[in-house]
Amino acid sequence: AVATAAAHGLSDGDIIALTSGWTRLNDRAARVANSLTGTFALERINTLNTQPYPVGSGAGSVREVTAFTEISQITDVATSGGDQQFLTFGFLADDDDRQLPTTKNPISMAVTVADDPDLPYVAVVEAADEDKVARVLRLNLPNGDSILYNAYVTITSTPALSRNNLMTRVITLSLAGRPTRYSAVVA
């Protein structure tokens, strides 16, 4: 996808959060590519199909992500949702029902972390929990790939306690838009 914006100030590799009239693009995070004066591309986002991306109705805005704060001491990550929902139906003459894919369930991630209130990310996550504004998160994978999420971030207010275990808190990410995965940069 190529976006048009006068004096956007973005450079290749910048991470942005998108607001768009196109519902499939709205609330996604993306990486900027092919940045020129007045235009830039949304790397790995294809809007050529005019059915979900009608010409002239994708106007919106972008917010540049200027910094990331590492969430450390993660003990577990559990993802839920994203599974396909279906319309099941059958005609009177059918012996078997039919299925058509419809929407997908919303995705959320529960990130369990050791309770350490002095770590830099705690204040950032607690502020996100308080203001309920979506944040862009980047998951860096061991092979160099990364996944960008635009999500509402909350955190449990008190740690879980159990004998002979770490005290932990749970950070929940409720995705506002589809995730975007990027392959490792090959030099």
Residue 187 maps to a domain: no
Question: What range defines the domain where residue 55 resides?
Answer: 2-65
Same domain, 81 and 51: no
Residue 7 to residue 175: CA distance in whole angstroms:
30
Residue 2 bridge partners (DSSP):
41
One-letter amino acid for residue 160 of the chain: A
Residue 78 bridge partners (DSSP):
110
What is residue 158's DSSP assignment?
S
pLDDT digits 0-9 by tens, 56-68: 999 999 999 999 9
Which backbone phi and psi does 175 adopt, to 5 degrees? Answer: -65, 130
Count up the domains in the chain and report the number. Answer: 2
Verdict on whether the full-model pTM lies above 0.85: yes
Residue 28 maps to a domain: yes
Read off the tokens for 96.
Answer: 């078997």
pLDDT digits 0-9 by tens, 67-104: 999 999 999 999 999 999 999 999 999 999 999 999 99
pLDDT digits 0-9 by tens, 96-143: 999 999 999 999 999 999 999 999 999 999 999 999 999 999 999 999
One-letter amino acid for residue 161 of the chain: L
Residue % of the chain over a pLDDT of 70:
98
pLDDT at 187 over 80: no
Alpha carbon distances (Å) from 104 to 15, 25, 101: 26, 15, 9
- Average pLDDT for 140-164: 96
